[in-house]
């Protein structure tokens, strides 16, 4: 979970058909460096084995209410005290009813009741069970008690038809937990942040477009890092890829759509990070039908006009906003980026050599240099874009705070 330090996570698995998905969630958390201990209800063991979870978590799985492996230690209290966050995934209607009413009849409900750390519940059940007044009443009670209840997905259920109550995917669940835990902490707490991502697509005709090789990975990584730092994040993107849970997403295609989306949000924004690769040029006119090659035609001339310079425009109208631009260069990186920092009136410029080996457009890694007026450049050496994003958000947060 980007932006959230290593955690002690206690995962409660209850007896639903979606219990198998918990194995993937354990793997995601372990890959992110977290410690995971699993508590299973008896019915959960009918759907997925404790051995599977023990192997993935590298911890003993708790299933027996009376097991006391450590003399002098009360197991459910010790586990509750160890926990930084308690997550029920999946949470059946029965388990939700138990914990909403403070029951403590098995190891899962007993440990849950003893836990004082943040608690997050991921419901999973048939939509008829989910929408029953009793279940909804229990969900409201959990929320009243300070438990975070995640939404369910809509899709094909075990019964063979489409409906509500489907368990969120492990990836979305991981993002949701990060989102919940990041509230109330971080260098961008309660800051309004708008981030752009991807390469703009300027239509030529109904089947062709003028674009670039930007994948949007850097912008998406920045959005997740900003969210984890406590910001309220809006992502304006050309990629069509949905962002992490909790991020306001605005899809756009070309430079003019991106400029309009930025203009709509600019007055209420504290920080703008222009990570998108915006085309400098667009076709003067967009053909309504596919342009066909003609017999004997050997060349094709495309009449282009300048696109709006979005970063420069924002630089001229900004008041309180902290404006961050990106410079994608293949030569004279610092010289070109320094000129851009000044000419665009940006508060910070992130320069990256897109011609470098294994960095830049489309790559999973990046290496950048951060420029600010009257400050020494800050070099961030080659690392995964997710790590670069966390470092950049920390730099941006400190700089924006100092400017206020």
Q: pLDDT 10s per residue in the chain (404 long)?
A: 544 568 999 999 999 999 999 999 999 999 999 999 999 999 999 999 999 999 999 999 999 766 666 666 788 999 999 999 999 999 999 999 999 999 999 999 999 999 999 999 999 999 999 999 999 999 999 989 999 998 888 777 777 878 889 999 999 899 889 888 877 667 898 899 999 999 999 999 999 999 998 999 999 999 988 988 889 999 999 998 888 778 999 999 999 999 999 999 999 999 999 999 999 999 999 999 999 988 999 999 999 999 999 999 999 999 999 999 999 888 898 999 999 999 999 999 999 988 777 787 888 889 999 999 989 999 999 888 888 998 999 999 999 999 87
122 is in an annotated binding site: no
Give the Å distances, CA to CA, from 369 to 229, 260, 282, 314, 333: 21, 29, 29, 22, 9
310 is in an annotated binding site: yes
- 94's CB contacts (< 8 A; 6+ apart) are 14, 15
Q: Does domain 8-182 have CATH number 3.40.50.1950?
A: yes
What pLDDT is stored for residue 184 in this prediction? 65
340 is in an annotated binding site: yes
Taking the domains of the chain in order of start, what are their residue ranges? 8-182, 192-403
- 217's CB contacts (< 8 A; 6+ apart) are 362, 363, 364, 385
210 is in an annotated binding site: no
Predicted TM-score (pTM) above 0.75: no
- Give the DSSP letter string of 73-130: --HHHHHHHH-SEEEEEEE-HHHHHHHHTT---SHHHHHHHH--S-EEEEE-S-HHHH
- Residue 50 to residue 248: CA distance in whole angstroms: 38
Are residues 244 and 179 in contact, defined by beta-carbon separation less than 8 angstroms?
A: yes
Q: How many helices (H) and strands (E) does the chain have?
A: 13, 19
Are residues 58 and 30 in contact, defined by beta-carbon separation less than 8 angstroms?
A: yes
- Residue 77 to residue 114: CA distance in whole angstroms: 6
308 is in an annotated binding site: yes
**CA nearest neighbour of 218 among 2, 3, 386, 390:** 386
- Residue 3 to residue 13: CA distance in whole angstroms: 26
Largest Cα–Cα distance of the chain, in whole Å? 91
217 is in an annotated binding site: no
What pLDDT is stored for residue 2 in this prediction? 46
The side-by-side arrangement of strands in the sheet containing 119-123 is 35-40, 8-13, 85-91, 119-123, 148-149
- Residue 265 to residue 253: CA distance in whole angstroms: 17
CA 225-147-48 angle, 5° bins: 85
Are residues 240 and 216 in contact, defined by beta-carbon separation less than 8 angstroms?
A: no
> Which CATH architecture describes the domain 192-403?
3-Layer(aba) Sandwich (3.40)
What pLDDT is stored for residue 228 in this prediction? 81
Please pick, among 65, 212, 336, 365, the residue that the annotation labels catalytic: 212
Common-topology check for domains 8-182 and 192-403: yes
371 is in an annotated binding site: no
What pLDDT is stored for residue 178 in this prediction? 85
In sequence order, the β-bridge partners of residue 233 are 193
The answer to whether 212 is a known catalytic residue is yes
As a dihedral over the C-alpha atoms of residue 157, residue 161, residue 164, residue 167, rounded to 10 degrees, the angle is 10
Backbone angles phi, psi at 78, to 5 degrees: -60, -45
């Amino acid at each position: 979970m980007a932006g959230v330090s290593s955690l002690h996570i206690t995962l409660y698995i209850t007896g639903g058909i979606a219990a198998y998905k918990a194995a993937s969630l354990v793997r995601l958390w372990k890959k992110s460096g977290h410690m995971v201990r699993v508590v299973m209800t008896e019915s959960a063991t009918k759907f997925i084995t404790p051995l599977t979870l023990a192997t993935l978590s590298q911890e003993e799985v708790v299933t027996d209410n009376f097991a006391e492996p450590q003399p002098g230690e009360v197991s459910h209290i010790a586990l509750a005290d160890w926990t930084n966050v308690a997550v029920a995934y999946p949470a059946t209607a029965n388990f939700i009813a138990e914990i909403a009413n403070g029951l403590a009849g098995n190891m899962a409900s007993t440990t849950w009741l003893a836990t004082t750390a943040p608690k997050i519940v991921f419901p999973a059940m048939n939509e008829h069970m989910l929408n029953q007044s009793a279940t909804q009443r229990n969900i409201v009670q959990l929320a009243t008690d300070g438990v975070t209840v995640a939404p369910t997905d809509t899709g094909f259920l075990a019964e063979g038809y489409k409906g509500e109550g489907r368990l969120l995917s492990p990836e979305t669940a991981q993002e949701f937990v990060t989102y919940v835990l990041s509230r109330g902490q971080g260098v961008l707490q309660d800051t309004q942040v708008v981030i752009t991502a991807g390469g703009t697509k300027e239509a030529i005709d109904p089947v062709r477009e003028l674009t670039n090789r930007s994948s949007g990975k850097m912008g998406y990584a920045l959005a997740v890092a900003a969210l984890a730092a406590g910001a309220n994040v809006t992502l304006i993107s050309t990629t069509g890829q949905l962002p992490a849970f909790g991020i306001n997403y605005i899809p756009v295609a070309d430079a003019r759509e991106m400029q309009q989306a930025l203009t709509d949000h600019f007055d209420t924004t504290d920080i703008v990070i222009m990570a998108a690769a915006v085309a400098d040029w667009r076709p003067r006119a967009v053909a309504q039908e596919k342009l066909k090659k003609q017999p004997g035609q050997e060349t094709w001339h495309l009449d282009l006009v300048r696109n709006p310079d979005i970063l420069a425009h924002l630089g001229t109208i900004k008041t309180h906003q902290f404006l961050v631009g990106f410079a994608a260069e293949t030569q004279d990186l610092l010289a070109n980026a320094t000129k851009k920092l000044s000419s665009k009136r940006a508060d910070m410029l992130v320069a990256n050599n897109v011609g470098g080996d294994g960095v830049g457009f489309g790559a999973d890694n990046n290496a950048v240099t951060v420029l600010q007026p009257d400050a020494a450049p800050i070099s961030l050496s080659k690392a995964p874009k997710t790590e670069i994003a966390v470092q950049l958000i920390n730099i941006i947060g400190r700089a924006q705070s100092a400017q206020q």
